[in-house]
Amino acid sequence: MAVNKWYPVYTNPRAEKKAYEALLTKGINAYLPLHRQLKQWSDRKKWVEEPFIKSYLFVNIAEHEQAEVLMTKGIARFLYFSGKPAVMPDKQISELKLLMASPYELEITEEDLQPGEKIIIKAGALKGMTGEVVSRRSQKQLILRLETIGYSIIVHVAASLIERF
């Protein structure tokens, strides 16, 4: 039996939600990380669910299902690493889901953040998660690296909740 793996896929610009819905309609297990954002228009403000990582979503499929994913409206291509479609470890997807469900303020950056001190969160919703410390604006921040897709996620966490390991 084929083993399902998580693959990051690149969507057409601003088509993440429609591509996600189309995948679900086809019965394909997909994950689109969303976060709430306050949008400002000239006449009003409104909270909206926006894709956390622009133009990306994740599919949990067997290798033979890749063609079906590519034939889905809004999907542009798979990400490749060393000539093969990139695969995300289950642990990274689980950690991303945990982060998205947490009450912490999240920020995403394409910066290649330099390795720093390794830490582990010792309390709260993210207890047990490991990462690296980056000093910015005199705050301690947890970095969860998603190297497969070239992004790092910055979580604002109180210094009292982390410890060295």
Torsion angles phi and psi, residue 24, rounded to 5:
-65, -40
Predicted local distance difference test score (pLDDT) of residue 138: 45
Per-residue pLDDT of the chain (165 residues; tens, 9 = 90+): 679 999 999 999 999 999 999 999 999 999 999 988 888 888 999 989 999 999 999 999 999 999 999 999 999 999 998 899 999 999 999 999 998 998 888 878 776 666 677 787 887 778 888 887 776 554 556 677 666 777 888 787 777 777 777
Torsion angles phi and psi, residue 113, rounded to 5:
-70, 135
Q: Which domains are assigned to the chain?
A: 5-88 (3.30.70.940), 92-164 (2.30.30.30)
Is the pTM higher than 0.85? The answer reads no
Q: How far is CA 85 from CA 11, 27, 46, 65, 128, in A?
A: 15, 21, 38, 12, 30
Predicted local distance difference test score (pLDDT) of residue 113: 60
